[in-house]
Amino acid sequence: MALTVSILRLFVCILAFPMFLLNFLGLWNQICKKWFPYFMLRCSVMYNQQMASKKRELFSNLQDFVGPSGKLSLLEIGCGTGANFKFYPPGCSVTCSDPNPNFEKFLIKSVAENRHLQFERFVVAAGENMPQVADGSMDVVVCTLVLCSVESQERILQEVRRVLRPVSEGL
């Protein structure tokens, strides 16, 4: 049994060696940032097919949060390829945030496919630190499949609170 475990460990080390080497040379992060959007594009299509009815249900009440301007301002943290766009209500004003700048070209394609939305801008920033988004400027913040992969969930939730429009006492 010990021999089998040793052989399997050696096999994993051999398979992982190129990643360790690229990381040592400082190239791994750049490669991941460049190729991750392509991977996410493929996965998000399959994921949305599986989750479409649940996403429709979860996003069905977004229109209830329209601010005093009469337009829904939505910030999506960790927007990726824009897979959630088709579930947002018509006329929604969308600002997107992602730390990976390589998602922008995929977002542009997704915006073209979802003309019912008004795309505001793409902010290259981690969810924990988004100074480009003004205090109290958003009616809704969406982050799907994000909180499990961030450095600080507490810091993201503080940023969400900061950017959300204050709610009137009478509501």
104 three-class SS: helix
Maximal CA-CA distance, the chain: 69
Average of per-residue pLDDT values in the chain: 85
pLDDT band at residue 142 using 50, 70 and 90 as cut-offs: very high
Half-sphere exposure of residue 7: CA atoms within 13 angstroms, side-chain side: 4
pLDDT band at residue 171 using 50, 70 and 90 as cut-offs: very low
What does the alpha-carbon distance between residue 60 and residue 134 come to, in Å, rounded to a whole number?
26
- pLDDT tens per residue, range 148-162: 878 889 999 999 999
- pLDDT tens per residue, range 33-49: 677 777 777 777 788 78
Bin 82: left if φ > 0, else alpha if -120 < ψ < 50, else beta: left
Does the structure show a pLDDT above 80 at 53? yes
Query: Which tokens belong to 28?
Result: 């791994």
- Predicted TM-score (pTM) of the model is 0.78
- Domains defined along the chain, listed by start: 32-163 (3.40.50.150)
Catalogue the long-range contacts made by 98-104 (C-beta closer than 8 Å, 24 or more residues apart): 98/122, 98/123, 98/124, 98/125, 99/124, 99/125, 99/126, 99/127, 100/33, 100/36, 100/37, 100/124, 101/33, 102/33, 102/34, 102/36, 102/37, 103/37, 103/40, 103/79
**72-85 average pLDDT score:** 92
DSSP string for residues in 18-78 = HHHHHHHTT-HHHHHHHHHHHHHHHHHHHHHHHHHHHHHHHHTTGGGG--TTSS-EEEEET
What does the alpha-carbon distance between residue 136 and residue 134 come to, in Å, rounded to a whole number?
6
Does the structure show a pLDDT above 70 at 19? no
What does the alpha-carbon distance between residue 121 and residue 94 come to, in Å, rounded to a whole number?
7
What does the alpha-carbon distance between residue 148 and residue 50 come to, in Å, rounded to a whole number?
20
